[in-house]
Amino acid sequence: MMSQPPLFSPWRLRGASIRNRVALSPMCMYCARDGLVSDFHMSHYAGFAMGGTGLVWLEATAIRPEGRISNGCLGIWDEAQLPGLTRLATHIASFGAVPGIQLNHAGRKAAAKPAWAGGAPLTPVTLADGERLWQPIGPSDVPFAEGWQTPRAMSLDDIAALRSDFVAAAQRAVRAGFKMIELHFAHGYLIQSFLSPLANHRTDAYGGSLENRMRLAAEIAGDVREAMPAEIPLVARISATDWIEGGWTLDDSLVLARLLKGAGVDMLDVSSGGNMVQGVANSALTQRSGYQTDFAHQIRTATGLPVQTVGLIRSAAFANQLLEDGKADMVALGRQMLFNPRWAAHAFQELAAPGDFSGWPAPYGWWLEKWSRSLARKGESPFHRELEDDPRRPN
């Protein structure tokens, strides 16, 4: 067997032992009703765990009903949601992956259609059967974009209640069996909208200066860390930049990273964009492979915090090179995983052990090993390379 590549070296963060450095990036599926786990979620997330992924992050899970992006978002605001979440966390773990959950409040981007139904803001005319409409909240009464509802600017009482809701959601997540908790401070949702001057026009202790705009993120991180068991890692997803002049910048992110580290955050999940339509995360589709990895690397170098990097990472060779170069501690894939839920297993074959199916579920591995030997006798190979990125490309 070849020497173990960094992509398949185990890693430990607090009490979470992860079998490799491959993570499923959180991606909203919009397939819940009343925030409840459905059969879709059970099948969807199990596929990645069965496919060898080390860390399986659930999609943005709302801490209150009005914090959902759409009516179809998962929720963790009610005890009635715990049985389904517990089943899901147990199911993921049964295949050897670490189950993680992302906690979110959508803020001024709430009350929208699912992305695959257009993602436009809900209106009384566009409500489908069973959907409801609500007014979003935000740091200020600044809508996300033209045509979106004007959010209600949050009061100090609202902010105090929000902090309590994040704590309650994290405690439910721990009770449900999730082994890592991620706070969604990115992509223009509620907490990131407090961070960016594009959305935060407040003049009190939560607005104006960088220190004030970071206050809520630091408070929530500290609250949640204090309320969680010591063995559970706390992660925060941030947008390293708004990609818009006058908005949030990488320099701001370096200051925030140090603040969050002091508040008890164990790892940063470094993404970007999302605070305005022209800076949305989907602009990634026009970017080069690994376009965000340099942000993660700079944050890791400047702060010493472990980082998870993401952003059009497609090939095993490229993902492995990021780790060899010290640019990240975990590599997360999103759309590439949707295309190939067994990406991790295929990457292991490519990088470490061609023909070794011992890491696959036993009923699969037995058949595939026989199949592979049979093909080899005929001079054929079952293996193919994924579409490759050049790991030498500047990042």
Would you kindly state where each structural domain of the chain is located, as residue ranges?
Answer: 6-377
Say what the pLDDT of residue 377 is: 86
189 is catalytic: yes
For residue 104, give the 3-state DSSP assignment: strand
CA-atom Rg of the chain in angstroms: 21
Instruction: Output the pLDDT for position 1.
Output: 45
pLDDT of residue 389: 53
Helices and strands per DSSP (H, E), number in the chain: 11, 12
pLDDT at 383: 63
Over residues 280-314, the pLDDT tens digits come to 454 554 567 788 999 999 999 999 999 999 998 99
> Which residues of the chain are modeled with pLDDT < 50?
1, 279-280, 282, 285, 385-388, 392-395
What do you get for the CA distance between the two ends of the chain, in Å? 31
pLDDT tens column, 1-28: 457 899 999 999 999 999 999 999 999 9
pLDDT of residue 354: 81
pLDDT at position 104 is 98
Query: 351, 7 in Cβ contact below 8 A?
Result: yes
Task: Determine the pLDDT at residue 358.
Answer: 83
Measure the CA–CA gap between 243 and 124, rounded to whole angstroms.
33
Fold of 6-377: TIM Barrel (3.20.20)
Query: Is residue 92 exposed (0-12), middle (13-18) or buried (19+ Cβ within 10 Å)?
Result: buried
Q: Find the catalytic residue in 45, 189, 291, 364.
A: 189
Please, which residues have CB within 8 angstroms of residue 285's CB and are 6 or more apart in sequence?
none
Residue from 1, 7, 14 nearest 52 by CA: 7
Sequence-separated (6 or more) residues with CB below 8 Å from residue 214? 195, 255, 256, 259
Q: In angstroms, rounded to a whole number, what is the distance separating the alpha carbons of residues 240 and 271?
A: 6
